[in-house]
Amino acid sequence: MKVYGLIGYPLSHSFSKGFFAEKFAREGIQGCVYDSFSLPAITELEPLMAQYGEELQGLNVTIPYKEAVIPYLDELSPAAAKMKAVNCIRFINGRKIGHNTDAIGFRRSLEPLLQPHHNKALVLGTGGAAKAVQFVLEALHIPYQLVSRQAGAGTIPYEAVTAGIIATHTLIINTTPLGMYPNVDAAPALPYEGLNEQHLLYDLIYNPAITAFLQKGADRGATIKNGHEMLILQAEASWEIWNEKI
């Protein structure tokens, strides 16, 4: 049996397990199982790997371990090394290789929506998911400003985001969990009145399908997109990596 799975904590609303169960059934993939492994601490990864041994073929990694997992790996793909964030691990010949398919999924989902005027971005949040978003924006030559609860190197706090900044940054990407079920009324603190039909709002959250952040954009004519398609695309990219011939 080939074992795949997702590590993170908590995993009460995991997309991946259902996605892969449906994929295996739909495509007639035999001898494979995908499970959710809720790990209260990243130190529990090593006992998990020991438990499954050579059966363990691949893992996805979600909040809060996309960065914390790196010391447990033997090697990083060039993209994951640049992002310093891993959401996909391949186990092969006794080695643990970290990849980042968030960036692949995000780029494949975002690119069809981009218009020439989407030439400056605000990235809300600075965690592991934000690293993938930054990587893609750099590859697409779209300059961006990071926004977080606290100011830092290259990062401004939410209270510093003015209507003028909103007006000139027509692509706004939420990488934070604000607005995720069950806290569906929460939204990043922005001057939403500055939004218009030129804006594209992208939320990495997929539950609910329309977060308060996206609704505030839709109310002002902005194009909106949630993270569901990105999740599907990054999951498919993970499967490609786990089964890539070497």
- Residue 221, phi-psi category: left (phi > 0), alpha (psi -120 to 50), beta (remainder): left
Alpha helices in 175-223 (DSSP H): 212-218
Instruction: List all residues 6 or more positions away from 111 whose beta carbon is below 8 Å from its beta carbon.
Output: 140
Sequence ranges of the chain with CATH classification 3.40.50.720: 104-229
Give me the pLDDT at residue 226, please.
Answer: 98
The model's confidence at residue 12, banded by pLDDT at 50, 70 and 90, is confident
The pTM for the full model equals 0.90
Q: What is the mean pLDDT of the chain?
A: 96
> What is residue 72's DSSP assignment?
G
Fold classification of 104-229 is: Rossmann fold (3.40.50)
Tokens of 160: 């510093």
The CATH superfamily assigned to 2-100 is Leucine Dehydrogenase, chain A, domain 1 (3.40.50.10860)
Of these residues, 66, 96, 216, 225, which one is catalytic?
A: 66
**Residue type at position 32:** C
Give me the pLDDT at residue 63, please.
Answer: 85
Q: Has 131 been annotated as catalytic?
A: no
Distance separating alpha carbons of residues 69 and 184, to the nearest angstrom: 29
pLDDT tens-place string over residues 205-231: 999 999 999 999 999 999 999 999 999
- pLDDT above 90 for 129: no
Distance separating alpha carbons of residues 8 and 57, to the nearest angstrom: 17
Sequence ranges of the chain with CATH classification 3.40.50.10860: 2-100
The model's confidence at residue 15, banded by pLDDT at 50, 70 and 90, is confident
pLDDT tens-place string over residues 188-210: 999 999 999 999 999 999 999 99
- pLDDT above 70 for 164: yes
> What is residue 10's DSSP assignment?
-
3-state helix, strand, coil in the chain (%, to 5): 35, 25, 40
Distance separating alpha carbons of residues 117 and 169, to the nearest angstrom: 9
The model's confidence at residue 105, banded by pLDDT at 50, 70 and 90, is very high
